[in-house]
Amino acid sequence: MGRRPVAITGEAARDRVHILRAQHDAIMVGIGTSVADNPQLTCRLPGMISRSPVRIVLDSQLRLRRSGALAASACDIPLWLIADQNAGTTNEHVLHDMGATILRVDGTSGRLDLGEAMKVIAGRGITRLMVEGGPTVAAALLAADLVDEIALVKSETIIGTDGIDALTGMPLTAITQSPRFRLRGNEKVGNDYFEFYERA
């Protein structure tokens, strides 16, 4: 299936994720997820669109598509783009005019300083940040020890050998067997399972 988005979990689990979104101040993804999946990152349960969190994209070079769902809805639901200090300004002006807020942090070799990014986000009043993807961002945050809680969603659906790993360059045991995290609880949602971990 390669890099095409594929529904793995059932509708009940996807609804549970929307509830998690509503419980957070902001939701964050990397630019790779934004380009590949064209997500909305809103809370789309009936009557809960107003509970949608601030959407944040780690976008070091400001590559967010102007025609994508995030940019198109930036005037309706806050959208913050975190870019490298040295990223060009051409796309910045267009995205700003569409309603996006551009925040700049230091970066090295195309990689943003995630610690600085977290400080910038916290400085704007975000206290509960949900990171929903993708595997590169998740692994980078784990490596930088910037993760306090984890919701691991498991499905009985098998993707196959060409599926994408949950963590780029890391085994899942970096969560499930790490002394840094402890299992807080399990939850069966439809035919899927959630495992909740917290910092030990």
Q: Write out the residue range of the structural domain in which residue 18 sits.
A: 11-199
At 147, is the secondary structure helix, strand, or coil? Answer: coil
Residue 5, domain member (yes or no): no
**pLDDT score, position 160:** 66
Mean pLDDT of 172-189: 96
Residue 131, domain member (yes or no): yes
Residues 6+ apart with CB under 8 A from 167: 135, 138, 139, 142, 174, 175
For 40-69, the pLDDT digits (tens) are 999 999 999 999 999 999 999 999 999 999
Which H or E element spans position 198? strand 192-199
Whether 20 shows a pLDDT value over 50: the answer reads: yes
The two beta strands, 149-154 and 101-105, are unpaired
Residue 4, domain member (yes or no): no
The tokens for 81 are: 């783009």
pLDDT band at 166 (very low <50, low <70, confident <90, very high): confident
Which H or E element spans position 107? strand 107-108
Whether 138 shows a pLDDT value over 80: the answer reads: yes
* C-alpha–C-alpha distance, residues 70 and 122, integer Å: 21
Residue 2, domain member (yes or no): no
At 33, is the secondary structure helix, strand, or coil? Answer: helix
- Structural contact between residues 63 and 81, judged by C-beta atoms closer than 8 angstroms: no
Residue 133, domain member (yes or no): yes
**pLDDT score, position 1:** 41
Q: How many domains does the chain have?
A: 1
Residue 76, domain member (yes or no): yes
User: pLDDT averaged over the chain?
Assistant: 92
Whether 120 shows a pLDDT value over 90: the answer reads: yes
The two beta strands, 149-154 and 192-199, are antiparallel
* Cis ω before 125 (30° cut-off from 0): no
The two beta strands, 101-105 and 26-30, are unpaired
Residue 127, domain member (yes or no): yes
Please report, rounded to a whole number, the percentage of residues in the chain having pLDDT higher than 90.
84
**pLDDT score, position 6:** 63
Percent helix, strand and coil across the chain, each to the nearest 5: 30, 25, 45
Residue 172, domain member (yes or no): yes
**pLDDT score, position 163:** 72
**pLDDT score, position 3:** 54
Whether 140 shows a pLDDT value over 90: the answer reads: yes
CATH number of the domain bearing residue 44: 3.40.430.10
Whether 195 shows a pLDDT value over 90: the answer reads: yes
